[in-house]
Chains A and B, each alone.
Chain A
Amino acid sequence: MATGILVLVEHQDGRPKKTAFELLSKATELDVGPVMAAVIGGTGLDLTAELASYGATKVFYATGDSLDLPQAGPWARALEAVVKAADPRTVVAASSVIAKDIMPVVAARFKAGMASECTELAADGDRLTARRPVYAGKAIVDVAIPEGIQFFTTRPNSFAVGTPDASRTAEVVKVEGELCDGDGRAKVVEVIKAETATVDLTEADRIVAAGRAIGSADNFKVIQDVAAPIGASIGASRAAVDAGYAPHDWQVGQTGKTVNPTLYIAFGISGAIQHVAGMRSSKVIVAVNKDPDAPIFQIADYGIVGDLFQAAPMMAEEFKKVVG
């Protein structure tokens, strides 16, 4: 009888990503059977104590040469093997790039249902309900997957990280089996690193973004000055990206990244649905705009009517003072 929740643990530089702790904490809180963790790749990696402290009672490791880089084919096979070994009712992963690759593939192999980009999970007995935005966030659905395995991806920062308890332990299971596709039909040949290493916007806890009003790529310097003291990542509206002021991977919005930070500061962004769809679930939204009627003020928590080139340097100074 399939029971419990299996969390796909993503790791970077030998450490679990924060999303792993969020998901383990949520899975523990839901209390619908054993909480299990799947660690794929990272030969020799031992995350058991840390994952156990956040609630995992079983940690499954799938390792192999083809698994060290997150790549779709081998990782999907590995997750499939772990799901077979763990026999969970629920498989959950953060909606990261690798999860977008492998969760639909693995769900289809089990002929299972999947709900993507969820922002909340709730338990009613052992039945889970997932909440997710649709139509650019203009509507919300609650869905359930009553039969078979249920696959969910959830947005980073959706769940609070619980308090770790170092006294908890977990059983270790090594998963063997045919872990890679083996046919070489798809393989990652290279990862070209971004010029500046930043926290990915989708996982960022704080974001400072600017719209077309920024006027040039160089002017993003004023946005970076606001972001630096509070450790924020930089975002941009589609209009700013289309104008060539910012790279595509900075784009927040429906056709860019969906972000879910604690703090989102929008400079000179009017609040078109295209943009709002990608950031409306941010916990605290600050809007700075010259136009007092800009729609962004309707969804913001704090509004400042003013010119971004005056407000931004002041904010940079003020943040330095307050945080320093």
Chain B
Amino acid sequence: MDILVCIKNVPDTSAEEIEIADDGTDIVRDDLVYTVNEWDNYAVEEAIRIRDRVGGSVSVVTVGSEEDEEALRREIAMGADAGFLLSDPAFEGSDGAGIASILEAFVRKHPVDLVLTGAQADDEAGQVGGMLAARLHLPFASLVNRIDIREDRLTVEREVDGGNVEVVDIALPCVLSIQTGINEPRYVGIRGIRKAAAVHIPVLGAAELEIDPAEVGRRGARVLLESLFVPAQGEGAVMLEGSLGQQVAQLAAALKTQGVIR
């Protein structure tokens, strides 16, 4: 089975405070360390496991710039067979729909049996997988946390509302978005990283992918940024005082007065 995993290189914002750039259109990225979007590692791990079980290949692809090549190499070090960088000045500023159409163009040139994405990335939109599936006219399931292969179909499980599990029978080719917890992504060893450093990563632009530059990037974006800001810091908690019993009693009274418990 030939599997394509769409990945994204994202700033690791877990430890850092975020600042907004002077022109107000982006965060200050200079000092941020980039890493592969967490969900994507689960998707790549799942793809590798499927390939190791049934044969085939795993490719990883990202839309980005030169710097994002590192992310592709990391996933190759994990065990992916090939990486593709979709990069063009015309792609910059794409919204979710734009990214989906760039990926669509790539998949049409490099058809696969299964396309995986992470369930979401740093912009917390979780929409590229569904949009890509619609554009490719392929069936789609989101938030997948188990995949079983049965010849030309898959049985996938998804965590749905209220902790229920939905079992979906889905034909290949299809697009799935992968939830964390589906597996335990493997550790990337130094040997893998060395080996991956030598792999050639093709770079494909709008011309190679036959994409109309007006349809993607800032020009093609339908979703426009109006403002970007860091939320005001709260004043911090009211620390309750007295014995633990008194604190708990004060809390219950305050919550009751505010009407949040009843």
Residues of chain A having any CB pair with chain B under 8 Å: 71-73, 76, 96-97, 100-109, 111-117, 129, 132-148, 181, 184-194, 196-200, 202-203, 206, 230, 247-250, 254-256, 262-263, 272-274, 283-287, 292, 297-306, 310-311, 314-315, 318-319, 321-323
Contact = CB atoms under 8 A, between A and B. Distances in A.
Task: Give the one of B145, B223, B234 with max A CB within 10 A.
Answer: B223
B248 to A, nearest CB: 4
Interface stretch (B51-59, B70-78, B201-209, B238-246): B238-246
Interface stretch (B82-90, B108-116, B155-163, B190-198): B155-163
A138 B163 contact: no
B13 to A, nearest CB: 5
B233 A298 contact: yes
Contacts of A145: 222-224
Contacts of A202: 161
B91 interface: no
Nearest to B163: A194
A134 B123 contact: yes
A302 B161 contact: no
Interface residues of B, number: 85
17 contacts: A104-B126, A104-B134, A112-B222, A135-B13, A135-B27, A135-B122, A181-B139, A185-B170, A186-B168, A191-B160, A194-B163, A200-B162, A202-B161, A230-B261, A301-B234, A319-B252, A319-B261
A97 B239 contact: no
Contacts of B161: 96-97, 200, 202-203
B157 to A, nearest CB: 8
A263 B258 CA distance: 10
B229 A140 contact: yes
Nearest to A281: B231
A305 B169 CA distance: 50
Contacts of A297: 236-237, 239
Interface in B124-183: 124-135, 139-143, 145, 155, 158-171, 174, 180-181
A302 B254 contact: yes
Nearest to A307: B244
B186 interface: no
B188 interface: no
Nearest to A133: B124
Nearest to A136: B13
Contacts of A112: 97, 222
Contact of A186 (B39, B97, B170): B170
Contacts of A185: 139, 170-171, 174
A301 B124 contact: no
A287 B224 contact: no
A297 B233 CA distance: 12
A300 B169 CA distance: 44
B199 interface: no
Given A72-B140, A105-B134, A135-B13, A306 B228 contact: no
Contact of B159 (A101, A111, A248, A284): A248
Contacts, number: 275
B60 interface: no
Contacts of A103: 127, 130
B225 interface: yes
A322 B261 contact: yes
What are the 10 A-B residue pairs with the smallest beta carbon separation, nearest first? A113-B222, A104-B130, A303-B237, A194-B163, A108-B134, A300-B237, A186-B139, A108-B131, A104-B127, A318-B252
A71 B231 CA distance: 36
A101 B233 contact: no
A131 to B, nearest CB: 9
B140 A314 contact: no
Contacts of A113: 95-97, 221-223
Contact of B231 (A117, A137, A256, A302): A137
A301 B237 contact: yes
B222 to A, nearest CB: 3
B224 A143 contact: yes
Contacts of A146: 224
A323 B262 contact: yes
Contacts of A273: 13-15
Given A107-B97, A139-B230, A200-B162, A302 B251 contact: yes
Contacts of A248: 145, 159, 181
B238 A101 contact: no
Given A248-B159, A274-B14, A297-B236, A115 B167 contact: no
